[in-house]
Amino acid sequence: GENVEQHPSTLSVQEGDSAVIKCTYSDSASNYFPWYKQELGKRPQLIIDIRSNVGEKKDQRIAVTLNKTAKHFSLHITETQPEDSAVYFCAARTESSGDKLTFGTGTRLAVRP
Amino acid sequence: KAGVTQTPRYLIKTRGQQVTLSCSPISGHRSVSWYQQTPGQGLQFLFEYFSETQRNKGNFPGRFSGRQFSNSRSEMNVSTLELGDSALYLCASSWSDVGPEQYFGPGTRLTVT
């Protein structure tokens, strides 16, 4: 089955700096890659996603890039703010597996004011 | 439009008991997936239901089961509870055939003593 690895497990940046979180996946048939943000005590919130026919997608300060050949995708957050502090999860879905998402282990991002 | 809701939000049970958790998806969503979240194992897929049929199942023992009703509401049941079943149980809903985006409910925090 699909396996998703996520790095780093923790990340601390200064407010205003950029943050990058990387994920690799194992199943070349995976075609959908969402990113979730989970604040303490809250539900995971879908913040951005990308499909396998797209190489990059942006939404204001966040962007996701996908390299299908290398089977990795990354989340980029620019001009970080203290409210970006949370745990971020990447995930992958294979169309033949319905809506099953395989998650990475999470990255705890701390933005220092 | 109302988001995904889950009841109850908190549960305390004793080893050996059974528990039923409920999930109401976003109106119009036909797919409901269940995940177990623990500090040690992260987000693990339990199962997915689409149009009242289990479409996918994760690697959990048979003590974990679920079902979906004609209005897309879903329940999951855990029998013969073990201490290791203590976790946050999250459900997520999606259009599935229209779009893969999954939206999570607030979760049910289950504590087994």
| Cβ contact, residue pair B31, A98, below 8 Å | yes
Contacts of B45 in chain A (CB under 8 A): 100-102
**Which residue among A43, A89, A93 sits closest to B107, beta carbon to beta carbon?**
A43
Tell which residue, A85, A88, A77, A73, has the closest CA to residue A32: A73
Q: Tell me which residues of chain B have a C-beta less than 8 Å from any C-beta of chain A.
A: 31, 33, 35, 42-45, 48, 50, 55-56, 58, 90, 92, 94, 96, 100-107
Cα–Cα distance list, B96 to A14, A16, B25 (Å): 39, 37, 12
Contacts of A103 in chain B (CB under 8 A): 35, 42-44
Instruction: Please tell me the predicted confidence (pLDDT) of residue B50.
Output: 94
**Which residue among A43, A49, A99 sits closest to B33, beta carbon to beta carbon?**
A99
Q: Does the pLDDT at position A86 exceed 80?
A: yes
The rounded distance, in Å, linking the Cα atoms of A74 and A66 is 7
Which ranges of chain B have pLDDT less than 50? none
Cα–Cα distance list, B68 to A46, A72, A98, B51, B106 (Å): 24, 34, 15, 7, 19
| Weakest-pLDDT range from A6-15, A92-101, B36-45, B77-86 | A92-101
